Structure 1
Amino acid sequence: TAKEMFEAVMSRIDNAQVFISAAAVADYTPTKRSPQKIKKKNENITIEMCRTEDILKRVGDKKGDRIIVGFAAETENLIENAEKKLMEKNLDLIVGNDISKPKEVFGSDTNKIILIPRKGQPIDLPKMSKREAADALLDYIAANLLKRRRQK
């Protein structure tokens, strides 16, 4: 559950040098849990939802010296929306992903991402395999981690 993910992250974050928030955790969860299966009826039902804890925001609140990376899957205004999330959640880097054409992203072996750092210009990567995109992201993070260590 989102609550279990939140608890797992918060119990380990103090020991992390880098936090990459790649999981798409639900933003909402049902307010009440049914003790048994909800039987089908000939009418609609309404399920009340409540907001889950914003894991990435809470990690950003405890930032310290760690590098925090988030993801922004957007259907419009990719860079603008990603930069807003970057600032609101106190991230070092956000990976922007245009999902306006879902068949090119979901179920595909390739992806096109933009690395948007807090400091510096966005890095618009070409379309590549998802493995290559992950490698490019990790290379970027490793280079920044080394740069930080040298500055100390």
Structure 2
Amino acid sequence: MTINFGYDKRQVIQALRYHFISKKEIRIMIILVNVFAALALVLYALHKITPAAFLINSFLWLLLMISLWFVLPGVVYRKAETFKHSFTMYFNENDFTLEHTNGKRSWPYTALANYKESPHFFHLYFDERSFLLVPKTAFANADEASAFRHLLMEKVRTK
């Protein structure tokens, strides 16, 4: 199977959000911050904390959510040259190859630690921090994307 693709900025930003939110430590942090915000609201309603303390808490909550949703994915997108190029990928029985105008690189499927699927991409993880995004739009039709999904299920052992 061979696919050709480039990246759409909006879709990549959304995929990066998915990547960050899927991290266990970030999900735990978001839950704890939201519990703290709810507690601050209750304490403010019961007049146990001052309006200034509640306002500071609300500002910090808003700052954290903006950072996770907009700033972090935007910074990663701008720093990564990868998302500004076009690629060709070849998938065969034993390995897959990523080709660019500057060269190509092959990996056996055993190099992948995991894969995930988001609305617009297949995320191929080499480890917790290194991954490739394969756009679903690169596939000619839904059957080809489904065949790729089955190839990943067969070749990559997910955790």
Compute the TM-score of the two structures, normalised by the length of structure 1. Answer: 0.26
Q: Which has the higher contact order (CA 8 A, sep 6+)?
A: 2
**TM-score, normalised via structure 2 length:** 0.25
Q: Which has the higher helix share?
A: 2
Q: Which has the larger radius of gyration?
A: 2
